[in-house]
Amino acid sequence: MPIDPRANSAEKLVPPAPLPLVSRAALRRVRDAMPPPTACPYCEGPVALVCNSEIYGREFGAWPYAYRCVPCDAMVGLHPATDLPLGTLANKQLRAARATNKQLFHRVKDRFGFTRSQAYEWLALQMGIPKAECHFGWFDLARCAQAGAVCKEVRRG
Ligand SMILES: [Zn+2]
């Protein structure tokens, strides 16, 4: 779904526990919304919406919530003030790959003086994928590697 239909609905938004709220304005800001995960892509285990203090021992970040598969520890964070996941659930290896390659991407963005939107447009073009799919939170290991390779190419140039 491009934008969560609740962003423009009149119904009252009831936040799922433990979220304190779900903001309609925040839903509207998420251009490429992925629905909340219901089953883990790795082990098909149940996915819980948790406060990330359950993961890290203390709350981490401004919107300290995550979807998490307890059996295998795959997880994904949420867009601020929403119940929408940043992408697909990721195991430790994929989380590390996303973080590392996103960092390379941010260096390219800064080097070119790109806005966030310009930078993702550029990356999508380089990778040959639709911009709507160009989110590190959506990437699997192969796409993480591809994004990293594209960004390293620039730094060499
Ligand atoms: Zn799992």
Domain range for 39 is: 5-77
10 and 73 share a domain? Answer: yes
Our count of domains for the chain comes to: 2
70 and 98 share a domain? Answer: no
Q: Tell me: pLDDT of 16 over 70.
A: yes
Residue 155 — pLDDT band, cuts 50, 70, 90? low
Q: Of all residues in the chain, what percent are helix, strand and coil, respectively (each to 5)?
A: 45, 10, 45
Is residue 87, in this structure, part of any structural domain at all?
Answer: no
90 C-alpha vs ligand 1 centroid, how far in Å?
9
109 C-alpha vs ligand 1 centroid, how far in Å?
33
Structural contact between residues 98 and 144, judged by C-beta atoms closer than 8 angstroms: yes
- Report the chain's mean pLDDT, rounded to a whole number: 95
Structural contact between residues 88 and 34, judged by C-beta atoms closer than 8 angstroms: yes
88 C-alpha vs ligand 1 centroid, how far in Å?
12
pLDDT tens per residue, range 76-87: 999 999 999 999
* Average confidence (pLDDT) over 31-57: 95
19 and 51 share a domain? Answer: yes
104 vs 148: CA distance, rounded Å: 6
111 C-alpha vs ligand 1 centroid, how far in Å?
38
157 C-alpha vs ligand 1 centroid, how far in Å?
40
Question: At a CB cut-off of 8 Å and minimum separation 6, what does 14 contact?
Answer: 22
Nearest to 132 by CA among 140, 143, 121: 121
34 C-alpha vs ligand 1 centroid, how far in Å?
18
Q: Tell me: pLDDT of 156 over 90.
A: no
Residue 1 — pLDDT band, cuts 50, 70, 90? confident
* Average confidence (pLDDT) over 123-131: 98
